Amino acid sequence: MELTGAEIFVRSLEAEGVEIIFGYPGGAVLHIYDALYAQQKIKHILVRHEQAATHAADGYARSCDRPGVVLVTSGPGATNAVTGIATAYMDSIPMVVFTGQVPTHLIGNDAFQEADNIGITRPCVKHNFLVKDVRDLAMTIKKAFYVATTGRPGPVVVDIPKDITAEKAEFHYPDKVEMRSYNPVHIGHTGQIKRAVKLMQTARRPIFYTGGGVILGDASASLTELAKIMNFPVTNTLMGLGGFPATDPQFVGMLGMHGTYEANMAMHHCDVLIAIGARFDDRVTGHIEKFCPHATIVHVDIDPASISKNVKVDVPIVGCVKNVLKAMLNEVKNNDVHSDAVALKDWWQQIDEWRSKDCLKYDHDSEAIKPQYVIETLYKLTGGDAFITSDVGQHQMWAAQFYKFDKPRRWINSGGLGTMGFGLPAAMGVQFAHPDATVACVTGEGSIQMCIQELSTCTQYSLPVKIINLNNGYLGMVRQWQEFFYQKRYAMSYMESLPDFVKLAESYGHVGMQITRPGDVEGALVEMLKLKDRLVFMDFITDREENVYPMIPAGGGQNEMILV
Amino acid sequence: MENEAGALSRVAGLFSARGYNIESLTVAPTEDPSLSRMTLVTRGTEEIIEQITKQLNKLIDVVKLMDMTEGPHIEREMMLVKVQAEGERRTELKRLSDIFRGRIIDVSDENYTIELTGAGDKLDAFLQALDRGVIIEVVRSGVSGISRGSRSLKI
């Protein structure tokens, strides 16, 4: 039987097992919306801005290992989605974004709501497709999901002209797809894996440095097992938090610009660095010439282009991190490989000495609410088991430092692109994936206003997201840099004319609370958590000029941290 | 690469986005109409060339990639030069063209158009040998390359 393109779209998504899509209708996608209206299987979530649709789909994907799906209209619908697509691209999040396009015969005519979606999104997608024939639609959708979810994941855009959604074709959803030019590597090279294990065996000052690849590759269990057997310290990148249990004594904290002193010192002094699913980002390495000067470096990554991009690697291993870690475990177990216990004893002693600096200490007797205290209390009250999304800035760093993630996929933040406005819509996506879980969005008064309109979406779908607004009246991270590096010239980092967040939340039908005293923090959070089925906007008026410590200043090496 | 609209712009976009330099680029369909063959000339340190290779391989439209300079290979470029050819100059230009194994492919009262094929430096040498004042127009095709011997770039 012949179906219209719009019906083929819906049936293809069903065949992919898509349960939820985030979107916003418009002229070019009206046929598709009509087809969605006629079915029950796929739930469509109406956001208030297309950027939020992409962030919500992104948050959904990060929290549950299924691709996020977005549907937006042509022109402004697609351009609004670009920030979210770029965010997902930088963090390698599987996502399929369907953009409407003007009818085929009008493409290139500057038609109403026309934009070159393929051209605009090209630099921030893993791949994109323009559908030119309704008979190609099902196969293109199949390819889009395949490309988005395999290899190093990433967003894929499918641009569908309106006439394609009206035309008819036989529907057959392909079982599998073959692309001669796309063959991701899964299995690591055996010889290289043996070399890596040999290095681990003789290492005197080793460290595991692991990133988002461990989370995306579902490799936490294997990493933890290997690290425990070897008794090596583990540090996580911002994207990798939860990949190794943060409460485990072998965890030395996050590394990088605002990482712990012990993590960065251990990196600087290590003799064998085992990087897994991490990409040597500039916020991690500090000054590249000063990075890990004594280390032999093993790098496991699914993307060959990530290897030796910023830092020359000695043992490159291309492959799926989970497979490679399992192969390493087999190698260790089958050959009864042991790490150097004597050397490690000294190494741990040294690490404990660095640890004793207590680099995350802050003033507990302050009369103002310390943002770190809010996160610590949130951690304590949620038993470390909440899903935490964040926006971008100081609050993000404090959340990363003070909420101890023991499980993967619990920490949802825009690491690579650093997109303010990500937190609230991402939290919506997480809440849809985990309806009964506690989902908290840690944010600031700057970031939250970048997608504040989504409070309305939360009302529509009764999403009980908990918003932890660390309100210091400044664009805090900008202000911190201005304090350190621009002699306190606070250009445009002061937020005047803030709304009354409590009233704002209430106007959307939510609960709002403002907390001004440290003594009220815990009680207010307890109350918040009791309101299980309500969105609660917690406006914490925090210490205005608190800084994020420790810090590697720009151009510094990992051993050149500013401590509090 | 896949002979598809947009494939070329993905390559060009990659080079500009990552700050790599394209010295020349030629592309045309092959005997298999679903494929195009591109020869791209670029310059960089070993690390940069490695990155360029990896990044190009990541493009889904790139089917197979080969670094020609890793082995013996032949580079050819075609050039069309329109020159002022009047009076005594005509024989001089004909002789110069013959020396470089060029061919005069268009003749008018005032002009010759000379076709010349070879490695880039040969074309450069020809242009240098010409009196600068006589050159009206130069079109160069960019470099095409192929490996010597049995090594080949085939799908």
Measured CA to CA, the distance from residue B134 to residue B113 in angstroms comes to 11
Predicted confidence band at A393 (pLDDT cuts at 50, 70, 90)?
very high
Measured CA to CA, the distance from residue B103 to residue B97 in angstroms comes to 7
Q: Are A92 and A154 in contact (CB under 8 A)?
A: yes
For residue A518, pLDDT beyond 90: yes
Total tally of structural domains belonging to chain B = 2
| pLDDT of the residue at A276 | 98
| pLDDT of the residue at B132 | 86
Last residue of a domain, one of B24, B39, B65: B65
Reply yes or no on domain A2-170 having CATH 3.40.50.970: yes
Average pLDDT over every residue of B72-95 = 95
Nearest residue to B151 via CA among B63, B39, B73, B65: B73
What are the E-state strand segments in A396-526? 411-412, 439-444, 466-471, 511-515
**Residue A151: closest C-alpha in chain B:** B58
Among candidate residues A254, A257, A267, A477, the one labeled active-site is: A477
| pLDDT of the residue at A254 | 98
The Cα of A351 is separated from the nearest Cα of chain B by a number of Å equal to 34
Interface of B with A (CB under 8 A): 1-2, 5-6, 9-10, 13, 17, 47, 50-51, 54-55, 57-58, 60-64, 155
Buried b (16+ CB within 10 A) or exposed e, B60-99: bbbbebeebeeeeeebbbbbbbbbebeeeeeeebeebbee
Q: Say which CATH number the domain at B58 has.
A: 3.30.70.260
Residue A136's contacts (CB-CB under 8 Å, 6 or more residues apart) are none
The Cα of B25 is separated from the nearest Cα of chain A by a number of Å equal to 20
Task: Check if A112 is active-site.
Answer: yes
B22 and B80 in a common domain: no
B81 and B47 in a common domain: no
Average pLDDT over every residue of B102-110 = 96
Point out the residue among A180, A182, A305 whose CB comes nearest to the CB of B51: A305
Measured CA to CA, the distance from residue B13 to residue B35 in angstroms comes to 20
Among candidate residues A50, A376, A445, A454, the one labeled active-site is: A50
Q: Are A319 and A188 in contact (CB under 8 A)?
A: yes
Averaged pLDDT score across all residues of chain A: 97
Q: Between chains, do B51 and A309 touch, taking CB under 8 Å as contact? A: yes
For residue A303, pLDDT beyond 90: yes
| pLDDT of the residue at A108 | 95
Q: Are A455 and A508 in contact (CB under 8 A)?
A: yes
| pLDDT of the residue at A422 | 98
Residues of B in contact with A179 (CB under 8 A): 60
Measured CA to CA, the distance from residue A504 to residue A512 in angstroms comes to 8
The Cα of A156 is separated from the nearest Cα of chain B by a number of Å equal to 12
What are the E-state strand segments in A292-336? 296-301, 315-318
- pLDDT digit string (tens) for A239-262? 999 999 999 999 999 999 999 999
B142 and B77 in a common domain: yes
Q: Say which CATH number the domain at B141 has.
A: 3.30.70.1150
Last residue of a domain, one of B17, B41, B65: B65
Task: Check if A162 is active-site.
Answer: yes
Exposed/middle/buried for A439, CB within 10 Å: 0-12, 13-18, 19+? buried
Task: Check if A361 is active-site.
Answer: no
Average pLDDT over every residue of B109-133 = 95
Buried b (16+ CB within 10 A) or exposed e, A369-403: bbbbbbbbbbbeebebebbbbbbbbbbbbbbbbbb
Q: Do domains A2-170 and A371-541 have the same CATH topology?
A: yes
B31 and B86 in a common domain: no
| pLDDT of the residue at A554 | 85
Point out the residue among A123, A126, A180 whose CB comes nearest to the CB of B63: A180
For residue A564, pLDDT beyond 90: no
Domain spanning A371-541, CATH architecture: 3-Layer(aba) Sandwich (3.40)
B142 and B85 in a common domain: yes
Q: Are A148 and A126 in contact (CB under 8 A)?
A: yes
User: What is the domain partition of chain A in residue ranges?
Assistant: 2-170, 190-355, 371-541
- pLDDT digit string (tens) for A522-555? 999 999 999 999 999 999 999 999 999 999 998 8
Nearest residue to A393 via CA among A335, A350, A450: A450
Q: Are A510 and A536 in contact (CB under 8 A)?
A: yes
Residue A22 is inside which H or E element, if any? Answer: strand A20-23
Q: Between chains, do B60 and A118 touch, taking CB under 8 Å as contact? A: no
Point out the residue among A122, A147, A182 whose CB comes nearest to the CB of B13: A122
CA atoms within 13 A on the CB side of B55: 20
Q: Is residue B154 part of a domain?
A: no
Q: Are A160 and A98 in contact (CB under 8 A)?
A: yes
The percent of residues in chain A predicted with pLDDT above 90, rounded, is 98
Residues of B in contact with A308 (CB under 8 A): 47, 50
Across the A:B interface, residue pairs with CB atoms under 8 Å apart total 36
- pLDDT digit string (tens) for A138-187? 999 999 999 999 999 999 999 999 999 999 999 999 999 999 999 998 89
Task: Check if A540 is active-site.
Answer: no
Domain spanning A190-355, CATH architecture: 3-Layer(aba) Sandwich (3.40)
- pLDDT digit string (tens) for B31-56? 999 999 999 999 999 999 999 999 99
Q: Is residue B155 part of a domain?
A: no
pTM: 0.96
Please, what sign has the CA dihedral across residues A219, A220, A221, A223? positive
- pLDDT digit string (tens) for A8-29? 999 999 999 999 999 999 999 9
Interface residue of B1, B54, B64 to substitute, partner A, most A CBs within 10 Å: B54
Please give the structure tokens belonging to residue A475. Answer: 């664009």
For residue B154, pLDDT beyond 90: no
The Cα of A308 is separated from the nearest Cα of chain B by a number of Å equal to 8
Point out the residue among B13, B60, B63 whose CB comes nearest to the CB of A123: B13
Averaged pLDDT score across all residues of chain B: 95
Residue numbers of the domain that contains B30: 7-65
| pLDDT of the residue at B5 | 86
Could you tell me which residues are beta bridge partners of residue A390? A442
Exposed/middle/buried for A361, CB within 10 Å: 0-12, 13-18, 19+? exposed
**How many helices and strands in chain B, by DSSP H and E?**
4, 6
Cis ω before A550 (30° cut-off from 0): yes
B126 and B109 in a common domain: yes
The percent of residues in chain B predicted with pLDDT above 90, rounded, is 94
DSSP labels, B32-82: STTBEEEEEE----HHHHHHHHHHHHHSTT------GGGS-EEEEEEEEEE
Measured CA to CA, the distance from residue A475 to residue A496 in angstroms comes to 11
| pLDDT of the residue at A200 | 97
| pLDDT of the residue at A185 | 86
| pLDDT of the residue at A1 | 85
B40 and B94 in a common domain: no
- pLDDT digit string (tens) for B134-146? 999 999 999 999 9
Last residue of a domain, one of B46, B65, B84: B65
Task: Check if A289 is active-site.
Answer: no
| pLDDT of the residue at B155 | 83
Residues of B in contact with A180 (CB under 8 A): 63, 155
Measured CA to CA, the distance from residue A536 to residue A378 in angstroms comes to 14
Nearest residue to A524 via CA among A478, A467, A484: A467
B142 and B117 in a common domain: yes
